[in-house]
């Protein structure tokens, strides 16, 4: 049997063995998610404070008023269109950053000399605030979606690269050596061993990167123009529409939290598979 076929066969075994483990762990789940419980408590405190009139509505509107504005904005204000624009820019920026970061992280992992030469410059790229780069992007590229996506890439590129690099450097050396003894090398080692074992770190990097990418999209729209939630926030800020600001911020939080949770679940499951792969290989 070829090395690739053997590796795929082992991967199938690991997946079959990992499934019961995940299902057994699910039986010990809390009846109420701690994060959800905390959110309900904070929501209750928010409602109580505004209901008692301790803070004027111009500074802190009530959750019921925010919910009403949110429903109105989605049904009559076209907020769904603005949300899609921002979500699209954030996804494009995160995916483009990942397409650049993954090969770079693997090269940094493989070549110590290349890592020593390039990594300091990669880290230095984060010293310049995104808000300071935005005017340059307007001069170089112009207004619209493209400069906003580029800004997202610049904000997300470093966190993904570093997270994936740390994941690759943290791979079990015994497992990699066992794979080499089994005949895996070069591209086959990367595809069937290194990438699957580093998948939790890749998903972790994407999880962090997407959250930053949403922030980058909003900053880009507010400073370089656009048709997304950043533009909505800028308009609401000018009119001191506090209730509208809260409703738009809620949408941004839902977007970031949903993608964060989805990637977290994928990361958790991939760690189970990677753990079984390492145990089987050794």
Backbone angles phi, psi at 225, to 5 degrees: 85, 160
Domain ranges (residues) in the chain? 62-281
Predicted pLDDT of residue 24: 44
Predicted pLDDT of residue 126: 78
Predicted pLDDT of residue 14: 39
Predicted pLDDT of residue 265: 82
Predicted pLDDT of residue 275: 65
Please check whether residue 148 is in contact with residue 92, taking contact to mean a CB–CB distance below 8 angstroms: no
Distance from chain centroid for Cα 137? 23
pTM comes to 0.75
58 CB-near residues (< 8 Å, 6+ apart): 240, 242
Please check whether residue 108 is in contact with residue 118, taking contact to mean a CB–CB distance below 8 angstroms: yes
DSSP H or E stretch at residue 8: helix 3-26
DSSP H or E stretch at residue 154: helix 145-169
Q: Is 56 left (phi over 0), alpha (psi -120 to 50) or beta?
A: beta
CATH superfamily entry for domain 62-281: MetI-like (1.10.3720.10)
Please check whether residue 230 is in contact with residue 220, taking contact to mean a CB–CB distance below 8 angstroms: yes
Q: To 10 degrees, what angle do helices 79-110 and 229-238 make?
A: 120
Digit-by-digit pLDDT tens for the chain (282 residues) are: 444 444 444 444 334 444 444 444 444 444 567 878 888 899 999 999 998 888 888 899 999 999 999 999 998 878 999 999 999 999 999 999 999 999 999 999 888 889 888 888 888 877 778 778 888 888 888 888 899 999 999 989 998 999 999 888 888 777 777 777 776 676 777 777 778 888 888 888 888 888 889 999 999 998 887 888 999 999 999 988 999 999 999 999 898 888 888 888 887 777 766 666 556 655
- Cα distance between residue 124 and residue 43, in whole Å: 40
**Could you please report the per-residue DSSP string of 171-199?**
S-HHHHHHHHHTT--HHHHIIIIIHHHHH
Backbone angles phi, psi at 52, to 5 degrees: -80, -10
Predicted pLDDT of residue 122: 82
């Amino acid at each position: 049997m070829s090395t690739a076929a053997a590796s795929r066969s082992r991967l199938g075994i690991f997946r079959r063995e990992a499934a019961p483990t995940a299902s057994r762990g699910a039986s010990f789940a809390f009846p109420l998610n701690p994060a959800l419980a905390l959110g309900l408590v904070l929501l209750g405190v928010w409602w109580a404070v505004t209901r008692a009139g301790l803070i004027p509505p111009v500074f802190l509107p009530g959750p019921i008023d925010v919910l009403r504005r949110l429903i109105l904005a989605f049904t009559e204000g076209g907020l769904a269109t603005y949300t899609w624009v921002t979500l699209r820019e954030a996804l494009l920026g995160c995916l483009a950053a990942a397409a650049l970061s993954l090969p770079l992280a693997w090269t940094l992992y493989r070549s110590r000399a290349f890592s020593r030469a390039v990594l300091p410059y990669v880290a230095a790229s984060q010293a310049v605030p995104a808000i300071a780069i935005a005017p340059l992007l307007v001069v170089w590229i112009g207004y619209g979606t493209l400069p906003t996506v580029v800004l997202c890439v610049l904000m997300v590129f470093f966190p993904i690269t570093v997270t994936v690099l740390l994941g690759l450097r943290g791979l079990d050396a015994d497992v990699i050596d066992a794979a080499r003894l089994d005949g895996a090398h070069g591209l086959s080692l990367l595809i069937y061993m290194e990438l699957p074992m580093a998948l939790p770190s890749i998903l972790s990097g994407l999880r962090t990167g997407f959250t930053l990418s949403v922030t980058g999209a909003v900053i880009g729209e507010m400073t370089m123009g656009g048709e997304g939630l950043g533009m909505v926030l800028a308009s609401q800020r000018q009119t001191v529409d506090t209730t509208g600001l809260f409703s738009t911020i809620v949408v941004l939080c839902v977007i970031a939290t949903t993608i964060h949770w989805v990637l977290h679940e994928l990361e958790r499951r991939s760690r189970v598979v990677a753990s079984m792969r390492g145990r089987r290989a050794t």
